[in-house]
Every structure is written in C-alpha cells, then in structure tokens.
Amino acid sequence: MRQSQLFTRTRREAPSDETAKNAQLLIRAGFVHKEMAGVYSYLPLGFRTLQNIVQIIREEMNAVGAQEMVMTALQDKELWSRTDRWDDAKVDNWFKTEFKSGGETGLAITHEEPLTRIMSEHISSYRDLPRYAYQFQNKFRNELRAKSGVMRGKEFLMKDMYSFSKNDEEHAAFYAQAREAYLKVFARLGLGDRTYVTFASGGIFSPFSEEFQTLTEAGEDVIYVHEGKKLAVNKEVYTDEALATLGLSKEELVEKKAVEVGNIFNLGTRFSEPLNLSYTDETGTKKPVVMGSYGIGPTRLLGTIVEVLSDEKGMVWPEAVAPFRFHILNLLPNDAASVAFADALYAELGSDAALYDDRDARAGEKFADSDLIGIPWRINVGKETAVSGMVELVNRATGEMKKVTRDEVLAL
C-alpha cells in the first residue's frame, strides 16, 4: 500500500485523557480511533493487524474441528431470563434498550444462551454429538474500568467457541485439545514465553477454570507464577487450600501482574438443562448435553502485544501479526532514479506485503513514523541505491542494519 494514499496520519500526541500505553501508541500511529472511553474504531493499519490475529485464531480453532459462524448482537430477553442472566442484579454489565414496538433487548455480553437454543434445533441424538462452533463477534459490556485502552473495551471483539458433548469424558477430551490449541495461538502471536495457564475461580466440576494470563505491568490481574511448571494461580483463588489441591507451595510462586487473554470453562449442564438441550443416547435415555466455553480477546491481544513489545520509539510487531512485513522508505522522493527503484521494489514485494512511504517528506519524518508504526523490516532507498543497487535493511526489533541487494530483500 502506498503511504501517500493511506487516509490515516501519524500524530505526535495521543488524546490527553488516554493513559494506557497501548492506546496512546495505537492512536498516534493511526491504527485506532477513540470514539469514547473504552470504545475504539479500527482504521486500516489496525484492522489489518487485528485480522492477522483473527486468522491465526481461526486456523487453530478449525484445526480442532470447530465450525465458524456468527450470531447476533441483539439479544432476546426471554431467552436470557430462562437462565437467570437477564436481571441487572445478577449480571451488572448489560447495555439494554427498548424496541419501538415494545419490549426490551440487550447487546450481547457473551453467547451461551443463543447458541444453546440454536443447537437444540439441530441436536437430538447421540449421533449428533460432539459438536463445536465458534465466532468472532463484537461483545458489549458496560465495564466500569476504562484505563486499559483497547485491553478493556466496552465494545470489543471476542472469539467465543462452545463445545457440545455427550458426557464429561467426551467433554474433557475436547477441553484438553482446546487448551493445546490456545497455547499454539499465543505462541504464534509471539506471546508464548510470557503466557501462563492460570488456575482461577469459576470451575464447575473441577474447583478451577483455566485462564491464559500474559505477564505485563499493564495487566489488571495479579497471578502467582511457577516458572518451572509454566503455570500460575490467580490471586482470586490463592489460598492454602487451593494450593494444596494443585500441589503447589507459596515459596515456589512469584507474584506478577498479568492480563487475561483467554479462558476455558467447563459449563457442565448449566445452560443445557434450563434451555432443554438434550439428546437420546444409545439406550434411548434422554440426557442433557455437556457444554464448554472457550474465549479469547483479539482486541485485548492486540493491545497486549503493543504493551509487551513496544520500545521508546514506538510499536514492534512480530511478523505474524504486523500489518505489513516490509516498510519501504524512499528517502529521495524527488529523485527520478530513486522513485523508479522504489516503485519497482514495491511492485515486486506487492501491496499486501509492503507499505511504501512514497510521500514527499523529510527522511527524519519517515524514520520516526516507521519506528512508531513498527513494521518488522524497513528498507531504506537512499543516495547509494541508484549507484550501487544496494538498500539498507533494518530490523525493527533488533535495530540491526545491513546493506543488501534487491534480490536479498526478495529472498527474505
């Protein structure tokens, strides 16, 4: 993409009310626009980055046999009343509104209820199980805290997957597969080293649910990490009793701040019973379906990557999620030979792989913008290029610079 055509511009300052580093950098680089506290639009560079995160998650969910779909944002009050999750006294973060024709609706906080009802029309026999479905869909939550930028939105993207199994054993097998798939996702996103399976509250059969917590000072959670076992315990369940159950002792655990980037839950029959999702087994007996839910926050992950990988000059995207792999800077935009060289290189790399700074701007400005945007490989086309055919190739993460030929760039 030609930077001269990109409608977003970088800016020196973020809005003064934005305190989170992730949002400050994303706004300054033109990746997101802040509509209101906790509400962000994704502009072309931010959208491309988010889509890369989404695609990695999609591949890993497909690999465990889940089917992608998308459900509605508007929710049916009557359905949620049946599971006792409509009342504001029970769930305190709904955005609710009224239909002109009468009656209330709410914006989806999660999707167990609607998917359970959908499945009740498609599952009736043991032959219909197990089934796994997921979606990428905006959730709406009237969150009180809004100090974490895109890491805690009032409107945010969630990948939510749900499993439907015949019994606890079948459920447990998929749950274990989902845990592995999640670890693959975080590794591919460059967060594997600092993301810990973390025991937390909310378990139904086992006393715990499992969260995936990424270490960062910007996180709102406190966890106790066991480095050797690569697992952690959330502060909310950090009791002598819980530690004994897990076979851990306080001396081996280190307190850290972290953000929950995903979680996996055993739901048992919490939703299938009130919503009548059942099946007939091999002997003709009617049984409730055993469910699980598995969430990941792609927009929270985007913010987390900025928090943990940025430096004083700007963002540093891993190749797997960067909006582009290459950032071509033509440092002599008024020199015909330079323009010809840079144009040709851009044509060969392609508009999907390269952002091409073809603007009529000073080199210093181009360098500062490039550092801020954080694309992995920068290619400087300068004075020497027309003479020797060599460009400077700069690695954003390490700062390492090499003089290379065009062919060496193309071979990267």
Bond before 298 cis per omega within 30 degrees: no
**CB nearer to ligand ATP: pick between 156 and 341:** 156
For tokens 């030929």, name the residue: 405
| Residue 34 binds to ligand ATP (criterion: CB under 6 A) | no
CB of 12 to ligand ATP, least distance (A): 27
One residue of 263, 272, 370, 380 binding ligand ATP per CB under 6 A: 263
CA dihedral 81, 82, 84, 88 (to 10 degrees): -10
Binding to ligand ATP in span 104-133, by CB under 6 A: 110
Distance CA 366, CA 390 (A): 19
Number of residues in contact with ligand ATP under rule CB under 6 A = 16
Piece in contact with ligand ATP (CB under 6 A), picked from 71-79, 84-92, 256-264, 387-395: 256-264
One residue of 48, 171, 188, 300 binding ligand ATP per CB under 6 A: 300
C-alpha distances in Å from residue 298, one per residue of 44, 152, 169, 222, 367: 16, 11, 30, 21, 29
The amino acid occupying position 307 is E
CB of 20 to ligand ATP, least distance (A): 12
Phi and psi at residue 125, to the nearest 5°: -125, 160
* Residue 84 region by backbone torsions, left for phi larger than 0, else alpha for psi between -120 and 50, else beta: left
Q: At what angle do helices 44-63 and 168-188 cross, to 10 degrees?
A: 140
**CB nearer to ligand ATP: pick between 263 and 272:** 263
| Residue 198 binds to ligand ATP (criterion: CB under 6 A) | no
In the shown chain, the binding pattern of residues 140 to 159 toward ligand ATP, with x for contact by CB under 6 A and - for none, equals -x-x--------xx--x-x-
CB of 88 to ligand ATP, least distance (A): 17
| Residue 50 binds to ligand ATP (criterion: CB under 6 A) | no
DSSP letter string, 148-181: SGGGS-SEEEEEEEEEEESSHHHHHHHHHHHHHH
Piece in contact with ligand ATP (CB under 6 A), picked from 24-32, 190-198, 245-253, 261-269: 261-269
Piece in contact with ligand ATP (CB under 6 A), picked from 97-105, 276-284, 295-303, 357-365: 295-303
Distance CA 210, CA 148 (A): 22
CB of 293 to ligand ATP, least distance (A): 8
Residues that bind ligand ATP (CB under 6 A): 110, 141, 143, 152-153, 156, 158, 260-263, 295-297, 299-300
